[in-house]
């Protein structure tokens, strides 16, 4: 791709972008939300038409891609973050959808089954062509999408955030499959916000910023500081915002959890959070971090132990009771459990306080709600035309900021943040880190769950580490390192580590 530009009305989404990808290469494409990655890939896939003046070449031959069908005929396939499968159909029907084999006008089901079975065997799939897609896990559905791409003899495969909804085990399996496809000679364009994935997979990495091409790094040149500087135009030293001073002090204890358990997997677990403190809750996937947080919030029942808020016993049987007491919870699944995507920013921000703000007889205070929506845009730097924009139209980072704005509207004492930067770009992460630091400085108590160790290390004042449903240790100060946290998270059960 040479000199690719794209204009939407008065907005120039791409400005003379270049991209070169070779056969047998995993080429990472990185940049903030809004940098132009998706627009560039939609031009490659035929969904958008580029402005005049650019050139697109396959095998050194200039081509025109006027439609998705043109792209498929040239061997270009794209797998979006939101999978586009028909869940009520079988794997075979999804793989062959729109290109069904026929003989004398009659569907040749045997031929389609053979083709699908051959592809699934090549991919090492553990399911059959006649399995209904709705019965498959997300990782298996991802494999069906790849099978569909291979069924059209794809030579250029675009993967957009393919691990966003996968567990670590499923991610490892997907990585093995991607490497196998590279060995078969496919050119793979891999879009991700997760730097660890890029380091592990990419042969080269190209970066876009504000719709323009910044540069391409070879594998041996990849590094966090260099990538962040290319993506956001500032140094890594400006990224995390935490006062590292020795004299930093905190307020009174806001939350104290004593021997909390669900009677099955979790506990007994104990931890505490003070006013103005950011406490990390770390551990391997499946260690029980989210389950413990949901018990504190009243979303899951506790069968033992107790919770103290400001020194007083709290027995929240429902999230509404926890919110009324001053505890809010940001879910790791903002799509399924957080936001209402077809509602406006204003309505999403006001959801938690609409009843509290209402006039007698439940009449909404519309002017107050409107002011709160506008204030949220300014306070959290949410990029949107207005507070009346629908949440669906926003980038992932701005959607996460809307969720933060809803929590802050309740004026909470304690914020429980579960994977607060999942699926957001590097610039939005920096904004969220600054917001967390600002909230802590204003006296809020913050409990943060994150699977990204650099994130935990960069913003937490203390880190409780979970293992097998229990608090296995706690680290503070200079001991908050990746090596120390992993040592606790993976230690044998009979090896006591840390004190709390």
Instruction: For 261-317, write each residue's pLDDT tens digit.
Output: 999 889 899 999 999 999 999 987 778 999 999 999 999 999 999 999 999 999 888
What's residue 75's pLDDT? Answer: 92
- Measured in degrees and rounded to the nearest 5, phi and psi for residue 470 equal -125, 160
257-273 confidence digits (pLDDT tens):
999 999 988 989 999 99
For 57, the token pair is: 């070449």
The residues facing 102 across adjacent strands are 107
How do beta strands 4-8 and 11-17 pair?
antiparallel
| Angle formed by the axes of helices 109-123 and 138-151, nearest 10° | 120
**Residue 488, helix vs strand vs coil:** helix
Residue 212: enclosing H or E segment and its boundaries?
A: strand 212-218
Which residues of the chain form CATH 3.40.50.300?
Answer: 4-235, 239-326+412-500
For residue 499, the model assigns a pLDDT of 42
pLDDT of residue 74: 93
Fold of the domain built from segment(s) 4-235: Rossmann fold (3.40.50)
Report the alpha-carbon distance of residue 184 to residue 182 in Å, rounded: 5
* Residue 405: both structure tokens together: 């704005």
Q: What is the pLDDT of residue 416?
A: 96
Q: What pLDDT does residue 360 have?
A: 84
Q: Which residue has the higher pLDDT, 249 or 418?
A: 418
476 touches 457 (CB < 8 A): no
24-45 confidence digits (pLDDT tens): 999 999 987 668 888 999 999 9
- What average pLDDT does the chain have? 86
In CATH, the number for domain 239-326+412-500 is: 3.40.50.300
CA gap 92, 133 in Å, rounded:
9
Q: Please compute the mean of the pLDDT values over residues 447-466 and round it to a whole number.
A: 90
Buried-state track 391-406, b at ≥16 Cβ within 10 A, e below 16: beebbbbbbbbbbbbb
All residues at 6 or more sequence positions from 372 whose CB lies less than 8 Å from its CB, including other chains: 346, 349, 350, 353, 409
With cut-offs at 50, 70 and 90, classify the pLDDT of residue 354.
confident
pLDDT(5) > 50: yes
In 3-state terms, what secondary structure has residue 309? strand
Question: What is the pLDDT at residue 248?
Answer: 62
Cis peptide before 374 (omega within 30 of 0): no
**Best CA proximity match to 95, nearest among 145, 61, 41, 142:** 145
Measured CA angle at 163 (ends 417, 407), to 5 deg: 20
């Amino acid at each position: 791709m040479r000199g690719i530009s794209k204009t939407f009305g008065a907005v120039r989404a791409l400005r003379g972008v270049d991209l070169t990808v070779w056969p047998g290469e995993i080429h990472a494409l990185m940049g903030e939300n809004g940098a132009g990655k998706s627009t560039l890939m939609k031009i490659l896939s035929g969904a958008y038409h580029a402005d005049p003046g650019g050139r697109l070449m396959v095998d050194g031959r200039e081509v025109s891609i006027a439609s998705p069908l043109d792209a498929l005929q040239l061997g270009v396939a794209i797998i979006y973050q939101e999978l586009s499968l028909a869940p009520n159909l079988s794997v075979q029907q999804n793989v062959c959808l729109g290109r069904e084999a026929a003989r004398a006008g009659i569907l040749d089901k045997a031929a389609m089954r053979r083709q699908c079975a051959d592809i699934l065997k090549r991919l090492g799939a553990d399911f059959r062509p006649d399995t209904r897609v709705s019965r498959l896990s997300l990782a298996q559905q991802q494999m069906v999408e790849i099978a569909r791409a291979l069924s059209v003899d794809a030579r250029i495969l675009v993967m957009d955030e393919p691990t966003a909804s996968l567990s670590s085990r499923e991610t490892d399996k997907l990585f093995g499959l991607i490497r196998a496809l590279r060995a078969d000679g496919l050119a793979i364009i891999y879009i991700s916000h997760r730097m660890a994935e890029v380091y592990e997979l990419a042969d080269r990495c190209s970066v876009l910023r504000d719709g323009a091409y910044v540069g391409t790094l070879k594998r041996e040149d990849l590094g966090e500081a260099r990538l962040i500087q290319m993506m956001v135009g500032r140094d890594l030293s400006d990224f995390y915002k935490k006062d590292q001073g020795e004299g930093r002090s905190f307020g009174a204890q806001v939350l104290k959890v004593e021997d909390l358990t669900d009677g099955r997997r979790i506990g007994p677990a104990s931890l505490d959070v003070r006013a103005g403190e950011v406490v990390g809750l770390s551990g391997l996937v499946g260690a029980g971090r989210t389950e413990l947080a949901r018990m504190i919030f009243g979303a899951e029942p506790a069968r033992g132990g107790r919770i103290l808020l400001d020194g007083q016993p709290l027995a929240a049987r429902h999230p509404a009771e926890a919110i009324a007491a001053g505890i809010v919870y940001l879910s790791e699944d903002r799509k399924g459990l957080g936001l209402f995507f077809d509602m406006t920013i204003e309505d999403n921000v006001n959801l938690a306080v609409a009843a509290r703000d209402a006039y007698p007889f439940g009449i909404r205070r519309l002017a107050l709600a409107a002011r709160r929506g506008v204030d949220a845009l300014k306070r959290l730097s949410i990029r949107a035309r207005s507070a009346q924009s629908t949440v669906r139209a926003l980038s992932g980072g701005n959607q996460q900021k809307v969720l933060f704005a809803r929590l802050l509207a309740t004026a909470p004492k304690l914020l429980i943040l579960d994977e607060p930067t999942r699926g957001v770009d590097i610039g939005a992460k920096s904004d969220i880190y600054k917001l967390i630091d600002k909230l802590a400085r204003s006296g809020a108590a913050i409990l943060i769950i994150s699977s990204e160790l650099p994130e935990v290390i960069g913003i937490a004042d203390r880190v409780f580490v979970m293992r097998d449903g229990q608090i296995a240790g706690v680290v503070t100060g200079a001991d908050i390192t990746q090596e120390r946290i992993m040592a606790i998270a993976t230690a044998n059960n009979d090896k006591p580590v840390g004190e709390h």
